[in-house]
Amino acid sequence: MDAGAPKFRRRKADRPAEIVSAALAVFAEKGFAAAKLDDIARRAGVSKGAVYLYFETKEDVFRAVVGQAIAPNVAIVKAMAAAHPGPLADLLRGVSAHVARIVSMTPLGGVLKMVVGEAGNFPEIARVWHDELVSQALGAMAVAIEAAQARGEVKPGDSRIYALQLIAPLLVAVLHRETFEPVGATPFDLQAVMAQHIDTLLCGLLMEGART
Amino acid sequence: MDAGAPKFRRRKADRPAEIVSAALAVFAEKGFAAAKLDDIARRAGVSKGAVYLYFETKEDVFRAVVGQAIAPNVAIVKAMAAAHPGPLADLLRGVSAHVARIVSMTPLGGVLKMVVGEAGNFPEIARVWHDELVSQALGAMAVAIEAAQARGEVKPGDSRIYALQLIAPLLVAVLHRETFEPVGATPFDLQAVMAQHIDTLLCGLLMEGART
Amino acid sequence: MDAGAPKFRRRKADRPAEIVSAALAVFAEKGFAAAKLDDIARRAGVSKGAVYLYFETKEDVFRAVVGQAIAPNVAIVKAMAAAHPGPLADLLRGVSAHVARIVSMTPLGGVLKMVVGEAGNFPEIARVWHDELVSQALGAMAVAIEAAQARGEVKPGDSRIYALQLIAPLLVAVLHRETFEPVGATPFDLQAVMAQHIDTLLCGLLMEGART
Amino acid sequence: MDAGAPKFRRRKADRPAEIVSAALAVFAEKGFAAAKLDDIARRAGVSKGAVYLYFETKEDVFRAVVGQAIAPNVAIVKAMAAAHPGPLADLLRGVSAHVARIVSMTPLGGVLKMVVGEAGNFPEIARVWHDELVSQALGAMAVAIEAAQARGEVKPGDSRIYALQLIAPLLVAVLHRETFEPVGATPFDLQAVMAQHIDTLLCGLLMEGART
DNA sequence: CATGAATGAGCCTTCATTCAT
DNA sequence: TATGAATGAAGGCTCATTCAT
C-alpha cells in the first residue's frame, strides 16, 4: 500500500484541516447560525456526513475554527513580549509592520468578526479568545509601555489604554475590510495605516509650531 | 377581564418602538439568526402575533433596529462636520468627549456588534450603515483634517487614515465592552480612553527629550 | 368566548390526549424507533410541529403513552388487593373475568408489547412498569394466595409462582393477539382462556380417576 | 505485519455464525431499529464492511438471527409430538423440565422478545415464527391433550387453550427475565416455575377438602 | 477476503409566519 | 388590535450501505 506516489487519492489526515478551512470561510461570511453544514461540507469537497467523522457537532467545528486561529496569534503576542528591551519606538515600528502583515495575509480578520458576532452565543469562546489573545496582547504591550515610562521615555498615562490606542486602528481597519469592503467601501491599506499610526503616536499629529 | 378601566396601560402608539427596543436587546445579545421572535415579543411584553401587526418579517424588525440606530449618529456626524472652523485640537477635544458620552450611554455598541456580525447576511444593511454613518463620519473628519493640514496645523499624511486613527480606540473599546466584558474582561472607561487618546495624538506619545 | 356551542373548532385541551392516543397506535405497531413523528401527527390529525407544543421530544411522547397506560391498571391491581377476603376460588373467578374484559377492550396489550420490545432502550420505563404494575400485581396476588394457604385452602407452594401461573395465560394470549393475529394466527378468546384456566387451576386438569 | 504465521486465527468459516451470534445479543438488547451495525460488527470482532460480505442488508442479519433460533425449537416441538403415548402426566413432567432447561440456557428468550417487539415491522418473520413454532407447538400439545381426553384421562375443555395454559408461565417468566430483571426484578427460577405449574395443573390448586 | 472512510437519504426538532377567534 | 395555537419548510445529525484500497 501507499507504494510511492502519495499523490492522488485524498489523504484522510488532511480532512479535518480542509473542513476547518472551509468552515472558516463559511462562518466568517454567514456567522454561526446562518452557516449551513451542507455549505461547509460542499466547500470542503466532502459530504455532509463526512464532517461528522471528524467533529461531533456544528459547534465543535466552530470551536475548532476559532481555536485554530488562536495559536498563530499567540505567537505574535509572544514575539511582542520578547522584544521588550530597547527604545519603544523601535519596538513599535518593528512589531507593527509585522503584525499588520500577518493580519493582512491571514483569515484572522474573519475570525475576529466571528468572535465579535457570536460572543453572546459562545461565551466560552469569547473567554478563550480574551484570555489567550486579547488580554495577553494588551498585557504584553502595557508591560513594554510601562518599562518605557520607567525609563522616562514615554509620557505618564494609563498603559493599558496606550496599548489599546496602539492596536485599535489595525483592528478597526480589518473589521472595516470584513464588514464594509464587500459593499463597496474604500479599502484601507493595513500596512500604511499602521505606519502612519505609529508615526503619529510617537511624534504627535500636530506640526511643530502648532502645539497647544 | 379588565373591563373598561382606563388604567395606566401603555399606549398602543408606542408598540413599534417598544418592539424595536426589545429586538435591539435580543439581536445584540444573540445575533440575528439566533434571536427568536418569541424572545423579542416576550421582552416587548406583547404576543408573537402582535409583532406581525407592525412588521412584515423578522428581517424587517432587524432593519428597523439598525435603521433607528443610524439617525442619532448621523446627528453626531453632522455636529462634527459643523464644527469645522477653529484649531483642530479644540474640535477634537470637544467632539471626542461628546461622542464618547453618547456611545457610553447608548445601545449603539450593541448595534455595531450586530452590524459587524450580520454584514455578510444583510449586505444592504452593511451598505446603509457604511454609506450613512461610516463613510460620512470618516469623510467629515477627513475634511476637517485636510482643512487643518491646509492651514499648516496638521502634519502631512493620509487624512482618511488620520480619521480612522482618531475614532478607532473608541470603537475597539466599545466592541471590547460588548464582546469581552460579559466574560470577565476589565472594562475600559470610554471617556478616559478618548481623553488620553486625543492628548496622545495631538502631542505624541514620547517625552520631549525622547523624540527620535 | 366559548359562547354556547362548544361543537366544532378543535379544543386544545384535548390535543395531548389525541396525540397520545395516536402515538399509542403507532408505537404499538412499529415500536419506538421505527415510529415516525409524521405518522403520529398525521394520525392525530395535527401537524408535526403541533406535537412539539405539548411534548418536548419523541421520547416524551413515548413516556406519556406508557405512563397513561399505567394508571388504569393500577386500579385493577388495587381492586384485586381489596378483594382479599373469602374463598380464593370466588376471588379468582370474579377477578379473572374482570381483568380479561379490561385487557380485551383496552390497548393495554399494545402497550405491553411496546414495553417488552423497548425495555432495553428505556430502562426507566421498564422500571416504572415493573414497580407500579408487575411487582404490585404479583405481590397482591401472592398475598391473597398466602392468606388462602394460611386458611388451609390452598396447597403449599411458592405463592409468587402461583401468582405467575394465574396471570400468565392472559398475558400470553394478549401478546399472541398483538404479535401473531395480524399474520393469520387463530385468535384466543381471552374470557374463555381465563375461565378455563381458573377452572383448571382450581380443580386440576385430570379426571377424577386419573390422578397419579 | 502478521507475516505468514499460521496462528490460531479464527477460521473464516465461522464468521457468519459469529456475526449472527453478535447480532442476536445486540438485537435482543436494543431491538432492530436501535441496533447499530457498528455495534454488531464490533461485537463480532469484524469490520462493518465484513458484515456485508455475508449478509445483504441489516434486515437479512435480523432474519438470520430469528431463523437460526427457530431450528432448535422445532426439534423440541418434534420431541413433544413424538412422545405422545402414555399418560399425559408423564409426558408433561418429562417435557416441561426439558423445555425449561433449554429456555434457561439459550438466548431464545431474547429472540422471543425481539419477535414480539418487531412483529409489526417484520410480518414475514412473525409469520415464520408463528407457523413453524407457535402454531406447531400449540398444535402438538393440543393433539396430545386430545388423545388424553379421548382416553378419558383429561377433562373436557378446549385443547388449544389447555396447551396455552401449559406453556404460558414459562413464556411469561422468560419475558419477565428479559424485560424486568435488568431493572431489578426478582428472578423466577424457570425450572421451579414449570415444576410447580405442572403439579398444579395436574392436581389442582386447592387442598383436597377445599374443592368447591 | 477485509477494512473503514465516505456517502446521502431520512428523521427529529426548531421557529418564522399565519389565522381563527 | 391582540392572541397564541397551528403550520411546515429547513437543517442538524445518524447510520445503513458502498467501494477504493
> What local confidence, expressed as pLDDT, does residue C10 receive?
53
> H or E element: which one contains A48?
helix A48-54
The pLDDT mean for chain D works out to: 88
Q: Within an 8 Å CB–CB cutoff, is residue B160 touching chain A? A: yes
Residue among A29, A173, A203 minimizing CB distance to B211: A203
Grid cell at residue B134: 461610516
> What local confidence, expressed as pLDDT, does residue C3 receive?
41
Query: Is residue A24 predicted with pLDDT exceeding 70?
Result: yes
Poorest-pLDDT segment among B23-27, D153-157, D172-176: D153-157
What burial class does residue A161 get, using C-beta atoms within 10 Å of its C-beta: 0-12 exposed, 13-18 middle, 19+ buried? Answer: buried
Grid cell at residue B146: 485636510
Which residues in chain D have Cβ-Cβ distances shorter than 8 Å to C121? Answer: 30-31, 34
The type of residue at B44 is: A
Q: Within an 8 Å CB–CB cutoff, is residue A155 touching chain B? A: yes
CB atoms under 10 Å from CB of D96, counted, come to: 23
**Distance between CA D45 and CA D22 in Å, rounded?**
9
pTM above 0.85, yes or no: yes
| Residue D9 pLDDT class (50, 70, 90 cuts) | very low
Radius of gyration of chain D (CA): 21
Query: Is residue A83 predicted with pLDDT exceeding 80?
Result: no
Query: Is residue D6 predicted with pLDDT exceeding 60?
Result: no
Which residues in chain B have Cβ-Cβ distances shorter than 8 Å to A29? Answer: 120
Distance from CA of D85 to the nearest CA of C (A): 15
Helix (H, G, I), strand (E, B) or coil at A154: strand
The residue-averaged pLDDT of D158-166 equals 96
Q: Convert the pLDDT of each residue in A101-156 to its tens digit.
A: 989 999 999 999 999 999 999 999 999 999 999 999 899 889 889 999 999 999 99
What is the DSSP code string of C42-84?
Answer: HHHTS-HHHHHHH-SSHHHHHHHHHHHHHHHHHHHHHHHHHT-
CA distances from B161 to A57, A100, A173, A179, D187 (A): 42, 14, 9, 17, 83
**Distance between CA A142 and CA A153 in Å, rounded?**
14
| Contact (CB, 8 A) for B83 and B94 | yes
> What local confidence, expressed as pLDDT, does residue C85 receive?
73
Poorest-pLDDT segment among A80-89, B7-16, D69-78: B7-16
The type of residue at D178 is: E
Give the torsion sign (CA, B19, B24, B29, B31). positive
B–A contact (≥3 CB pairs within 8 Å)? yes
**Distance between CA C40 and CA C29 in Å, rounded?**
11
| Contact (CB, 8 A) for A176 and A188 | yes
> For residue D13, which nucleotide's C1' is closest to its Cα?
E1
| Residue A172 pLDDT class (50, 70, 90 cuts) | very high
Return all residues near B201 (Cβ < 8 A) that are at least 6 apart: A200, A201, A204, A205, B92, B165, B166
Instruction: Decide if C154 and D116 are in contact by the 8 Å CB cutoff.
Output: no
Q: Within an 8 Å CB–CB cutoff, is residue C53 touching chain D? A: no
Measure B125 CA to E21 C1' (Å): 38
Q: Convert the pLDDT of each residue in A49-62 to its tens digit.
A: 999 999 999 999 99
Q: Convert the pLDDT of each residue in B163-188 to its tens digit.
A: 999 999 999 999 999 999 999 999 99
> What local confidence, expressed as pLDDT, does residue D7 receive?
44
Instruction: Decide if C211 and D203 are in contact by the 8 Å CB cutoff.
Output: yes
* Nucleic strand F near CB of residue A48 (< 7 Å): yes
> What local confidence, expressed as pLDDT, does residue D85 receive?
72
Helix (H, G, I), strand (E, B) or coil at D212: coil
Q: How does pLDDT run along chain B (212 residues), one tens digit per residue?
A: 444 444 444 556 688 999 999 999 999 999 999 999 999 999 999 999 999 999 999 999 999 999 998 887 777 777 766 766 778 888 888 888 888 998 999 999 999 999 999 999 999 999 999 999 999 989 988 988 999 999 999 999 999 999 999 999 999 999 999 999 999 999 999 999 999 999 999 988 777 666 55
Return all residues near B208 (Cβ < 8 A) that are at least 6 apart: none
CA-CA-CA-CA torsion for C6, C9, C14, C18, nearest 10 degrees?
140
* Strand E nucleotides where any atom sits below 7 Å of a protein CB: 1-21
Class of domain C7-210: mainly alpha
Measure A80 CA to E16 C1' (Å): 49
Helix (H, G, I), strand (E, B) or coil at C34: coil
**Distance between CA A91 and CA A95 in Å, rounded?**
6
Q: Convert the pLDDT of each residue in D125-147 to its tens digit.
A: 999 999 999 998 899 889 889 98
| Contact (CB, 8 A) for A143 and A84 | yes
Poorest-pLDDT segment among A82-91, A180-189, B175-184, C188-197: A82-91
| Contact (CB, 8 A) for B160 and B138 | yes
Chain B, 115 to 134: residues with Cβ < 8 Å from chain A are 115-121, 123-124, 126-127, 129-130, 134
- The full set of domain ranges for chain A reads 7-210
The residue-averaged pLDDT of D74-100 equals 79
- With a cut of 50, which residues of chain C have pLDDT below it? 1-9
What is the DSSP code string of A176-204?
Answer: HHHHHGGGTPPPP-HHHHHHHHHHHHHH-
* Nucleic strand F near CB of residue B52 (< 7 Å): yes
Poorest-pLDDT segment among B32-46, D90-104, D147-161: D90-104
Instruction: Decide if A119 and B183 are in contact by the 8 Å CB cutoff.
Output: yes
Q: Which of residues 27-66 of C touch strand E (CB under 7 A)?
A: 35-38, 48-49, 52, 56-59
Distance of CA B172 to the CA centre of its chain: 11
CA distances from C114 to A95, A148, C122 (A): 69, 77, 10
| Residue A4 pLDDT class (50, 70, 90 cuts) | very low
> What local confidence, expressed as pLDDT, does residue A6 receive?
41
Q: Convert the pLDDT of each residue in C145-204 to its tens digit.
A: 999 899 999 999 999 999 999 999 999 999 999 999 999 999 999 999 999 999 999 987
In terms of Cα–Cα distance, which of D57, D46, B210 is closest to A202? B210
